[in-house]
Amino acid sequence: MVDMKTKDGKQLFNALFEELAALYEPVARMSDEARNRLKVKVFWQMGHRMSELMQDEQGDRSARYGDNVVGQLSQAFKARFGKGFGRSLLFCMRQFAEEIPKENISPTLAFSHYRLLLGVGDIALREKLALSAAEAQLSVEALRVLINQSATPEAEIRHGKEFLLSPRLGRTGLVKVEKDPLGAQVWLVNLGFNIRRSGLLKRTDALSDGDIVELGRVGKLKKLNCKKTERYTYDARVLKVVDGDTLALRISLADSTLVDERIRLRGVDAKERLSKAGEAATAFVRRRLPTGTTVRLHTFTDDRYGRYVGDIFYGERDVWLNRELVESGLAKFLDMKV
């Protein structure tokens, strides 16, 4: 294993960076439309080269070694090309090249499509989803919905260094209609977080107990045939980063009610905050999600401490915080079986 702090190590790193930068340079000069078409091919080449070098130099593919190289590459790319080259993107390039053969890459899918597909652990299901997305020319958001609808418990847990899960990012505004067991002909709207409201429904003649409706359109009484993976999604703002795997959020429910909850990140196990590793994980999340940051939250259940377990996405590209923490090496995968 080469020490990147030595003279030979620095030369090796600089050679790798210049090689990768030369691959990306033509992409950086293109228009957005042309860039998106070429980015998939170039990102695969960059990921393949990173994987080759790390395999050659590591032998056993040390996670810490890989993290150090990727971290330095991220800083170098940001210095030359600006924002956008975070560690998670570079890890994703490498995973892209390692798991998807070059000949299987579709010219109709963007790299954003492949980032979603890489979260599907079942290879056969992933290939089927990629083929469907390419044939139907699905948007990234449409593919996200298709993945959520196709998710199975067996497909959720990935193996290997990154320990990825399948993302669950559904639709906001979906609520469950329930009959009030304490009042005849009284209908309640289950907003989530054990909060129920009466008097929100304009019409109830076509409703059945357990129906799912979109609160803004209840007047039309259109029953939504959605899967469970599409529900329990909310907009929220960060109140506080408690530690590397727990955040306090102010969550906006479908009727604009605000509720404050502590959210435990699904599949993520960070060290205690007072430890050195715990401090690093906490600082990592605080840099990305300072107080007031708007996020998208998808919840599952609560843990033994009463915290809801959830997935958190942030930024214009819906960066998945759970996966980013594990891929960065600041936390370990924890199978919560939720």
Dihedral pair phi/psi, residue 149, rounded to 5°: -70, -25
Cα–Cα distance for residue pair 205/185, rounded to 1 Å: 10
- What are the tokens at 326? 């594990």
Q: Give every residue of the chain whose pLDDT is below 70, as ranges.
A: 1-9, 30-37, 54-68, 121, 151-166, 169, 184, 203, 216-229, 336-338
Q: Return the pLDDT at 194.
A: 86
All domains in the chain, ordered by first residue:
7-156 (no CATH), 174-225 (no CATH), 233-333 (2.40.50.90)
pLDDT in tens, 139-165: 888 887 787 777 544 333 333 334 446
Helices (H), 59-136: 63-81, 87-99, 111-117, 123-136
Choose among 240, 233, 228, 245: nearest CA to 297: 233
Number of helices (H), then strands (E), belonging to the chain: the values are: 10, 12
pLDDT of residue 88: 72
Give pLDDT, residue 222: 56
Residues 6+ apart with CB under 8 A from 54: 61, 65, 66, 69, 94
For the record, the structure tokens of 160 come out as 């290997």
How many angstroms separate the CA atoms of 158 and 281, rounded? 22
- For 74: left if phi > 0, alpha if psi spans -120 to 50, otherwise beta; the answer is alpha
If we measure between CA atoms, which residue out of 199, 194, 282, 206 comes closest to residue 238?
A: 282
Quote the pLDDT of residue 236. Answer: 96
CB atoms within 10 A of CB 105: 17
Q: What pLDDT, on the 0 to 100 scale, is given for residue 9?
A: 62
